[in-house]
Structure 1
Amino acid sequence: MDLIANLALGFEHAFSPTNLLYCFIGVFLGTFVGVLPGIGALATISMLLPLTFHVPPTTALVMLAGIYYGAAYGGSTASILLNLPGTPSAAVACLDGYPMSKQGRAGVALLMTTVASFFGATIGIIILTLFSPVLAEVGLAFGPADYFAMMVLGLVAAATLTQGSPIKGIAMVLVGLCIGMVGTDVQTGQQRFTFGIPELSDGFSLVAMAMGLFGVAEVIASVHRIRDQRAADRPKITFLSMLPTRDDVRRSWFPMLRGSGIGSIFGALPGTGPTIASFMSYAVEKRVSREPSRFGKGAIEGVTAPESANNAAAQTGFIPTLTLGIPGDAVMALMLGAMIIAGVQPGPRLVVEHPEIFWGLVASFWIGNVLLVILNIPLVGIWVKMLQIPYRILYPAILLFICIGVFSVNNNTFDILMVMMFGIFGYVLMLLRFEPAPMVLGFILGPLMEEHLRRAMLLSRGDPAVFVQRPISATLLALTALLLIWAMISLLRSNGAKQRGAAAVANEAA
């Protein structure tokens, strides 16, 4: 009965005119940027973050969340039609979606991705609804030492489970922690690492960092990476061409179930998210298929399984962020930052102290996913037309909106300078193959970790043994140590394989 009452409270808030409007804006913009390759939800959320400062916290989160899972819906469109993934998690859709497009079955692929996205999102929302309150109750038993250990585990997991080198990931986490220390000490009131710059007395702006690292850097990189496609390259999509055959439907049900399960698990784990869930789901389907040779040549299950995993992960990614205050990826870190800026502290107390925010957001997921089905199926033709926007017009407009957005936060030109600096820094990180996401996680969690560390040390009267004496913190730190050991072993094996490969090439040349 409590669950029904909580959902009723959530839908009461979600169906308010303001929240409905912002939910529609969020899913529409999310689908739009998901369709356009090279932008992504992260850059869009970064650009629109200033808009959330002028609305209630629930409304802000509804819009930002809509952008996130809306991009998960729309990201596969460019993958299927142009072989250009709109988002990283939609890259798997290129493997079988684009061959289907060349076979004249682009409409079927687009419709089935929408169905798979809705199916996966529905499973993810059900799991979010059922397990979030339980996890929040467990989190109420956590003390400062436990929170500190959990945040350390989250950062290490995000760093070591990234697609690049785990050493580079850990390095980026440390850079984020160092940047997060800039500003005024909360307890002493002393400024630290500001180097006499008064604008840094409050620390670096999350909005400026996010816009620079993910907005400006992505634009700079995309200018070299993406070329405008000719309109003739885009197939005509009609409603009749979108109707799947019975065989398509039969082949899709079990892959969507498996994909939803995989996505739900990986979405709730820190450091994984929709991208890893999509690739893992594709690998599983290829392994269990009776005809693995079909994959890569237009197999419908190679499209539906990753899409259901992608969207299930996008929903369950909110579980640790809302209930424990631990973001699993950079998008969730921005959501966490938006909540903190709005004066709402995420964590186990959120469900108890702000049930209208938590359950209103959960209810908006149901509404948003229904809106996405309404938008995606009838308006596929419009999304295809949007792919004709020339990038020479699109990217300067993005830079203009970034500058306007960051200036509107504090009316300070120093923030625009910070955006440009972080943009250049982000582009350099791309060239060096460093992922900026762990840096943002370190920047946001750094002050929270420091707060819990100091509180734990005060309660234990300066005894660091408190971190291993409490069962929860000791277990979490042990898991952190195991992750670090696993990362080092994986790195050594990778280097050994490269050396053996180089030696074999040298022997053949000799």
Structure 2
Amino acid sequence: MDFLDPVLAGFGVVFTPVNLLYVLAGVVIGMVIGVLPGLGPVATIALLLPITYEIPAESAIIMLAGIYYGAMYGGTITSVLLRLPGEAATVITTIDGYQMARQGRAGSALGIAAIGSFIGGTVSIVGLTLVAPLLARFSLGFGPPENAVLAATGILLVASLGTVSTAKSLVAAGLGLLLAAAGPDPLFASPRFTFGNINLADGVDFVALAMGLFGLGEILYLLEHRVRNRLPKPRVSNAWPSRQDWRQSRGAVARGSVVGFFTGLLPGGGGVLSSMAAYALEKRRSRTPERFGRGAIEGVAGPETANNAAATSSFIPLLTLGIPTNPVMALIFGALLLQGIPPGPRLIDENPEVFWGVVDSMYVGNVFLLILSVPLVGVFVRLVSVRDSILAPIVVTVTMLGVYTVNNSTFDMLLVIFFGVVGYLMKKTGFEPGPLVLAFVLGSLLETAFRQSMRIFDGDPSGFLTRPISGTLFAVGVLVLLVPVGVRLLRRRRPATGRPARDTATEEVPTPEEDLAPEQRTPTEDSAAGRLTAAKDSAGTGQRTPTEDSAATDSKVP
């Protein structure tokens, strides 16, 4: 019963009228921005960071969390109806979801996506409720060496697993560490890298950095590259799956919940990798894999369940270890710091209303998501028709006003413009801003913990390996980094002739990027294509077969 007391107290925080309103607002905003291609949860949370100054900490994080898992389902609607993924994690849903819509089964696809998202999110929340307190107690034994190894491993794993090019990701992470070093020295408080500018005496402002890279930068890239598909909108007659649909997809929902939960725990995991892994698993297990790509409902149920489960479980490393595993978690990490609440193992004891309020709000948010997802389909589809010439000026105005209200500083507005241009150039040249922000957030923790550790070890770096926890974390990080490299080397050494027989367990999962012409792709699809390719490489996928090629051809938009 002692365990249930804080959980019930968290529901007391959630079921206040104000916090219920924030849960609802977060879910609705998340669904809306999930529908709009180019405006994902990262950009939206970055734009809303200034608002978190004016509301209580638990309310702010409850709303931001609702935006995240709400966006996971919002992108499903246009993926199914228009073959236009509104969020990177729903790119895989376009493969079978759009084919179901063309066959007159759009309602079944949307219905099973809503049910799967609800079940996957709920299973992951239960896991979060049970696992997070245990992990927090374990991490109380962490000292500076463990924190240093954990932060370094998190940065390296995100850079190597979560983006297109490992080299470019490491460069972006290095730039983030350099920006984190600007400002006062953490041990001696002497100014560094300020170039004599008093506005940089406290370092680079996180809000200006995030709003520039993800807000203004995304808008600039969107205006240059976004071309909308003018496709006929399939009608949604019955948005509830039949008994046959449920029998076919219930196994996929169960497996997607497990895959998403564990994938969300990994640095660099999140919705894209989890949905990709769930789709590959369903195709591997199927007795009729040729159905995938032609309207298999399992190809919608598995990925949609997995991405919502991953969105929830990614809060576990953030709230218990203070380590963000993806860009969204990095922004929520920054929102907690803006409230003066450092996330980590002491969060449960020192701020239980924040921890349990956020966890319990996800139960309520998933119920809201299930209730709202079907009735508002028509409204969300109409949002796609909003012109860029209207959307872009509104977002830019909100961005500049929001960052000014934080510190009443025009210098912060200049920083937003600077980082907006940097973010645009990074996207244009193939550099993802995610590793930069993660490295910026973890840079201070890494530097402080590393320098404290070197004082403890009298300058001997081998001390990191002699301590049990830090040595184990170091070994796990090295192992995870080397496994993908080893897999790629083995595949390159495979002889060009004499290939083994076709194995459905290693089939390549077709992606919508292969079917769409370059001028039809959205920026969301462009940025997600590389991540999907990287995920396929790490999963050891094989070559396309003529059967798959014909299936991909059949699934093209007429």
TM-score bracket, shorter-length normalisation: over 0.9
Q: 1:273 to 1:235 in 2, by over 3 A?
A: same
Q: 1:317 to 1:102 in 2, by over 3 A?
A: same
CA distance in 1, matches of 2:489, 2:222: 33
Q: Is the 8 A contact 1:256 1:305 kept in 2?
A: yes
Q: Is the 8 A contact 1:156 1:483 kept in 2?
A: no
CA distance in 2, matches of 1:112, 1:385: 22
Per the alignment, residue 237 of structure 1 pairs with 236
* Residue of structure 1 aligned with 2:465, choices 465, 468, 478: 468
1:45-69 C-alpha deviation (Å, 9 max, x unpaired): 0000110011111111001101101
Q: Point out the more displaced range, 469-478 or 285-294.
A: 469-478
Per the alignment, residue 279 of structure 1 pairs with 276
Per the alignment, residue 122 of structure 1 pairs with 122
Q: Is the 8 A contact 1:229 1:388 kept in 2?
A: no
Per the alignment, residue 507 of structure 1 pairs with none
CA distance in 1, matches of 2:256, 2:474: 31
CA distance in 1, matches of 2:164, 2:364: 36
Q: Is the 8 A contact 1:160 1:483 kept in 2?
A: no
Q: How many Å apart are 1:489 and its aligned residue?
A: 4.5
Q: Point out the more displaced range, 122-131 or 412-421.
A: 412-421
Q: How many Å apart are 1:21 and its aligned residue?
A: 1.4
Bigger proportion of residues as helix = 1
Q: How many Å apart are 1:491 and its aligned residue?
A: 6.5
* Residue of structure 2 aligned with 1:379, choices 365, 376, 383: 376
AA aligned to 1:70 is G
CA distance in 2, matches of 1:457, 1:344: 27
CA distance in 2, matches of 1:258, 1:468: 37
1:150-170 C-alpha deviation (Å, 9 max, x unpaired): 111111111111231222222
Q: Point out the more displaced range, 220-229 or 131-140.
A: 220-229
User: Does 2:477 align with 1:480?
Assistant: yes
User: Does 2:340 align with 1:368?
Assistant: no
CA distance in 1, matches of 2:455, 2:441: 23
Q: Is the 8 A contact 2:187 2:448 kept in 1?
A: no
CA distance in 1, matches of 2:198, 2:485: 41
Equivalent residues in 2 for 1:490-505, closer than 5 Å = none
1:121-179 C-alpha deviation (Å, 9 max, x unpaired): 01110110110011011101111111111111111111111231222222221111111
Q: Point out the more displaced range, 100-109 or 193-202.
A: 100-109
Q: Point out the more displaced range, 267-276 or 185-194.
A: 185-194
Q: Is the 8 A contact 1:184 1:201 kept in 2?
A: yes
CA distance in 1, matches of 2:286, 2:67: 34
Per the alignment, residue 338 of structure 1 pairs with 335
Equivalent residues in 2 for 1:89-488, closer than 5 Å = 89-230=89-230, 233-238=232-237, 241-486=238-483, 488=485
SS in 1 for 2:393: helix
CA distance in 1, matches of 2:390, 2:173: 35
SS in 2 for 1:227: coil
Per the alignment, residue 504 of structure 1 pairs with none
User: Does 2:77 align with 1:80?
Assistant: no
Q: Is the 8 A contact 1:46 1:207 kept in 2?
A: yes
Q: How many Å apart are 1:373 and its aligned residue?
A: 1.3
Q: 1:155 to 1:48 in 2, by over 3 A?
A: same
CA distance in 1, matches of 2:443, 2:176: 8
Q: Is the 8 A contact 1:160 1:487 kept in 2?
A: no
Per the alignment, residue 10 of structure 1 pairs with 10
Q: Is the 8 A contact 2:147 2:445 kept in 1?
A: no
Q: How many Å apart are 1:461 and its aligned residue?
A: 4.2
Q: How many Å apart are 1:493 and its aligned residue?
A: 6.7
Structure 2: runs of 5+ lacking an equivalent = 498-558
Per the alignment, residue 541 of structure 2 pairs with none
Q: Is the 8 A contact 2:182 2:193 kept in 1?
A: yes
1:282-304 C-alpha deviation (Å, 9 max, x unpaired): 01101111111111111111001
Q: How many Å apart are 1:494 and its aligned residue?
A: 8.0
CA distance in 2, matches of 1:373, 1:487: 37
AA aligned to 1:416 is M
Q: Is the 8 A contact 2:270 2:311 kept in 1?
A: yes
Q: Is the 8 A contact 1:266 1:276 kept in 2?
A: yes
Q: Is the 8 A contact 1:166 1:487 kept in 2?
A: no
CA distance in 1, matches of 2:421, 2:347: 37
Q: Is the 8 A contact 2:258 2:306 kept in 1?
A: yes
Q: Point out the more displaced range, 447-456 or 4-13.
A: 447-456
CA distance in 2, matches of 1:475, 1:212: 37
1:352-409 C-alpha deviation (Å, 9 max, x unpaired): 1111111111110011111111211222221122222222211221111111111111
1:306-341 C-alpha deviation (Å, 9 max, x unpaired): 000000000000000000001110100111111111
Q: Is the 8 A contact 2:84 2:229 kept in 1?
A: no
CA distance in 2, matches of 1:80, 1:210: 31
Q: Point out the more displaced range, 35-44 or 455-464.
A: 455-464
Provide TM-score, normalisation by structure 2: 0.85
AA aligned to 1:398 is V
What is the CA RMSD across the aligned residues, in angstroms?
1.9
Q: 1:63 to 1:215 in 2, by over 3 A?
A: same
Q: How many Å apart are 1:417 and its aligned residue?
A: 1.6
AA aligned to 1:467 is F
AA aligned to 1:422 is F
AA aligned to 1:57 is A
SS in 2 for 1:233: coil
CA distance in 2, matches of 1:298, 1:319: 34
Q: How many Å apart are 1:245 and its aligned residue?
A: 2.3
CA distance in 2, matches of 1:479, 1:64: 31
Q: Is the 8 A contact 1:46 1:334 kept in 2?
A: yes
SS in 2 for 1:242: coil
Q: Is the 8 A contact 1:228 1:391 kept in 2?
A: no
SS in 2 for 1:279: helix
Per the alignment, residue 57 of structure 1 pairs with 57
CA distance in 2, matches of 1:34, 1:174: 30
Q: 1:294 to 1:471 in 2, by over 3 A?
A: same
SS in 1 for 2:346: helix
SS in 1 for 2:3: helix
1:179-234 C-alpha deviation (Å, 9 max, x unpaired): 1001112332211011112211111121111122222222222223333455x722
Q: How many Å apart are 1:269 and its aligned residue?
A: 1.1
CA distance in 1, matches of 2:482, 2:167: 12
